[in-house]
């Protein structure tokens, strides 16, 4: 049988990017290629329109602590199946949408889909199958967002040009249905379900899901709050950057045929960084890789904040490199530094902070644009937020290793 083969853990690893390609790709980055057409048809301001994206992220922020607890109880597979079904429904609805209020409702639906089938449950799924190569497989999983940006952004532009934006949404509603079928047939939650042990785990030892801090212990550590708050600031920055990049490019004078590739280039650079830096973080101290990525991201937003047309492509490449590594490292720090015992609840709570920041970044950047008629102040704010995020991140340390070494209980552990 398939699940008895030695390569089955790597099949699970391959499902990571596939699931995130669809769940994140259809709801976060590539969907923005439809923005100009929708704004034009409905006559919307950018602030009012971008509130729809903020609803998705704020909805995720409210839901992920609860869906995280459900993932810990029922496993990620059932949650992913439910999320994919909702995502297909949302895209089918978009093809028939008639008002801004309906868009808000669809993005509330997307919030539920992302909370169930987005990054946190997928990270828990692949991490449960690997002790060795965990940074590699997490990096592989989160490349799904970049693949979504790279593939779906030009695809959406092509669909608009050839069929119109409504028909484009209808065609793409088939993607989550196809993934739903594959997950139902092939995915298992843990190696124990098929009589195996995780890659790099000694035979006869407890499953990896039994290791690490409880949620009550985790929230009493500085590491939990440092990862969450730093992530919130960087997600604000990244979602503001990505969600408004296409519109910013058109403001700078780029035509649709050129601007649509900006997101693809960003996604391609981020993809290489996610996979490559995840692999490096398995070999080199992951905390050093983390801070290097933060520094690169800062350079990228400084370039963006210059508002110079000649520097925008450099900003896309540099920030994409920094953010790609950070997306992998934030997830890796959660599961490695705090453990898998209550990883669904812990990661869900951290995702609450990240999604809150991401939604605020999308919406407030649009509001600041409407007030000023420019992204200048909004992009300068991003520089300040990344600097604060770097300072906060200095409080991150490996709580699992400290517990094994008996250094200090989580309730009283000090900063390293």
pLDDT tens-digit series, residues 259-305: 767 877 887 898 889 888 888 988 888 899 999 999 999 999 999 99
Question: Is residue 319 a contact partner of residue 265, using CB atoms and an 8 Å limit?
Answer: no
Provide the pLDDT for residue 123: 87
Question: 3-state DSSP call for residue 29?
Answer: helix
Q: Is residue 67 a part of any domain in this protein?
A: yes
Question: Is residue 54 a contact partner of residue 356, using CB atoms and an 8 Å limit?
Answer: no
DSSP string, 302-322: HHHHT--GGGHHHHHHHHHHH
Task: Supply the CATH number for residue 358's domain.
Answer: 1.20.1250.20
Q: What is the pLDDT of residues 93-127, one digit of tens each?
A: 999 999 999 999 999 999 999 999 988 899 889 88
Burial class of residue 91 (count of CB atoms within 10 Å of its CB; 0-12, 13-18, 19+): buried
DSSP structure class, residue 190: S
Most distant CA atoms of the chain, gap in Å: 63
Whole-angstrom distance, CA of residue 159 vs CA of residue 96: 16
Q: Is residue 416 a part of any domain in this protein?
A: no
Q: Is residue 264 a part of any domain in this protein?
A: yes
Identify which has the larger pLDDT, 69 or 377.
377
- First vs last C-alpha separation in the chain: 48
Q: Is residue 123 a part of any domain in this protein?
A: yes
256 CB contacts (<8 Å, ≥6 apart)?
36, 157, 250
The average confidence (pLDDT) of the chain is 86
DSSP structure class, residue 4: G
Identify which has the larger pLDDT, 293 or 337.
293
Identify which has the larger pLDDT, 58 or 390.
390
Q: What is the pLDDT of residues 215-261, one digit of tens each?
A: 899 999 999 999 999 999 999 999 899 888 888 888 888 776 677 67
DSSP string, 71-84: HHHH-HHHHHHHHH
Q: Is residue 382 a part of any domain in this protein?
A: yes
Q: What is the pLDDT of residues 124-156, one digit of tens each?
A: 898 888 878 888 888 888 888 878 877 888 899
Whole-angstrom distance, CA of residue 338 vs CA of residue 234: 20
Q: Is residue 415 a part of any domain in this protein?
A: no
Question: Distance of CA 2 to CAs 5, 71, 184, Å?
Answer: 6, 24, 14
Average pLDDT (62-67) is 85
In the predicted structure, residue 408 carries a pLDDT above the cut 90: no
Average pLDDT (375-379) is 93
Identify which has the larger pLDDT, 366 or 229.
229
Q: Is residue 414 a part of any domain in this protein?
A: no
Q: Is residue 337 a part of any domain in this protein?
A: yes
Whole-angstrom distance, CA of residue 159 vs CA of residue 91: 14
pTM value is: 0.74
**Which domain does 150 fall in, by range?**
2-405
CA 181 to chain centre: 23
Provide the pLDDT for residue 2: 46
Phi and psi at 145, nearest 5°, equal -60, -45
Number of domains in the chain: 1
Provide the pLDDT for residue 415: 35
In this structure, how many other beta carbons lie within 10 angstroms of the beta carbon of residue 43?
Answer: 7
Provide the pLDDT for residue 414: 37
């Amino acid at each position: 049988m398939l699940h008895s083969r030695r390569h089955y853990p790597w099949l699970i690893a391959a499902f990571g990017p596939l699931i995130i390609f669809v769940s994140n790709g259809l709801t976060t980055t590539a969907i923005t290629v439809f923005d100009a057409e929708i704004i034009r048809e409905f006559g919307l301001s950018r602030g009012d329109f971008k509130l729809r994206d903020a609803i998705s992220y704020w909805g995720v922020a409210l839901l992920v602590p609860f869906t995280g607890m459900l993932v810990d109880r029922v496993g990620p597979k059932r949650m992913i199946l439910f999320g994919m079904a909702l995502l297909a429904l949302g895209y089918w609805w978009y093809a028939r949408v008639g008002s801004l209020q309906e868009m808000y409702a669809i993005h509330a639906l997307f919030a539920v889909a992302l909370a169930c089938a987005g990054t946190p449950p997928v990270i828990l799924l692949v991490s449960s199958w690997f002790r060795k190569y965990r940074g590699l497989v997490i990096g592989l999983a989160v490349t799904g967002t970049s693949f979504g940006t790279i593939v779906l952004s030009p695809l959406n532009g092509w669909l608009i040009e050839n069929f119109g934006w409504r028909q484009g949404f209808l065609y793409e509603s088939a993607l989550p249905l196809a993934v739903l079928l594959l997950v139902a047939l092939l995915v298992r939650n843990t190696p124990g379900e098929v009589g195996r042990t995780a890659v790099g785990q000694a035979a006869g030892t407890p499953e990896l899901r039994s290791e690490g801090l409880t949620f009550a212990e985790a929230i009493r550590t500085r590491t939990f709050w440092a990862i969450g708050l730093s992530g919130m600031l960087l997600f604000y920055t990244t979602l503001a950057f990505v969600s408004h990049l296409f519109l910013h490019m058109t403001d700078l004078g780029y035509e649709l045929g050129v601007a649509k590739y900006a997101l693809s280039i960003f996604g391609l650079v981020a993809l290489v960084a996610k996979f490559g830096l995840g692999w490096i973080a398995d070999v080199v101290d992951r905390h050093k890789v983390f801070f290097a990525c933060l520094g690169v991201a800062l350079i990228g937003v400084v370039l963006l904040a210059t508002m110079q047309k000649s520097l925008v492509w450099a900003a896309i490449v540099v920030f994409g490199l920094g953010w790609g590594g950070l997306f992998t490292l934030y997830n890796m720090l959660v599961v490695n530094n705090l453990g898998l015992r209550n990883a669904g609840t812990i990661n869900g709570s951290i995702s609450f902070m990240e999604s809150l920041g991401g939604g605020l970044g999308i919406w407030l950047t649009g509001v600041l644009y409407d007030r000023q008629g420019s992204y200048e102040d909004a992009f300068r704010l991003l520089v300040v937020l990344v600097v604060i995020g770097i300072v906060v991140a200095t409080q991150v340390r490996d709580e699992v290793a400290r517990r094994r070494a008996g250094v200090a209980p989580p309730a009283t552990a000090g900063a390293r």
